Amino acid sequence: MKILLAEDDGNISTIAIMALEHFGGHEVTHVDNGLDALNKAKEGGFDLIILDQMMPIMNGLTVCKEYKSLPDSNIPIIFLSAKCHADDITAFNNMGLGYIQKPFDPANLNQQISDILNKKIEGAA
């Protein structure tokens, strides 16, 4: 799977990339701010977008809203965030497919993503 990872924390992005590429066998493109995330998403070619909420220039929810307003904006989005207030989680779930809380366990990241994607597929069936 080709994944766009938008994460501004260098340590977290390094761990996420390692988990996604080495454990999951995915191809990851990494950006470290919301504007770059939106521009890369517009280019297409990804199977999944993983967005941090708190990023420079544009936050994850804004990126998601802007992206979804575009025609042919059909790449699934999962939020990866340390924000865990009920209102935040509701917003993440309403705008994207789901939410993974930071800190995350690198060994389980791919399974969490699969679970979210499978739940969406089952919900659509």
pLDDT at 54: 93
Query: Rounded to two decimals, what is the model's pTM?
Result: 0.91
pLDDT at 91: 86
Closest by Cα among 48, 55, 60, 58 to 92: 60
Gap between the Cα atoms of 69 and 1, Å rounded: 24
- Domain extents for the chain? 2-124
The CATH superfamily holding the domain 2-124 is: Response regulator (3.40.50.2300)
Task: Note down pLDDT in tens along the chain; length 125 residues.
Answer: 999 999 999 999 999 999 999 999 999 999 999 999 999 999 999 999 999 999 999 999 999 999 999 988 889 999 998 887 788 888 888 888 889 999 999 999 999 999 999 886 565 54
- Give yes or no for a contact between 34 and 58, defined as CB atoms under 8 angstroms apart: yes
pLDDT at 87: 87
pLDDT at 120: 65
Contacts of 117 (CB under 8 A, 6+ apart): 48, 76, 97
What does each C-alpha distance from 57 to 34, 38, 53, 87, 106 come to in angstroms?
Answer: 6, 11, 11, 22, 27
pLDDT at 85: 78
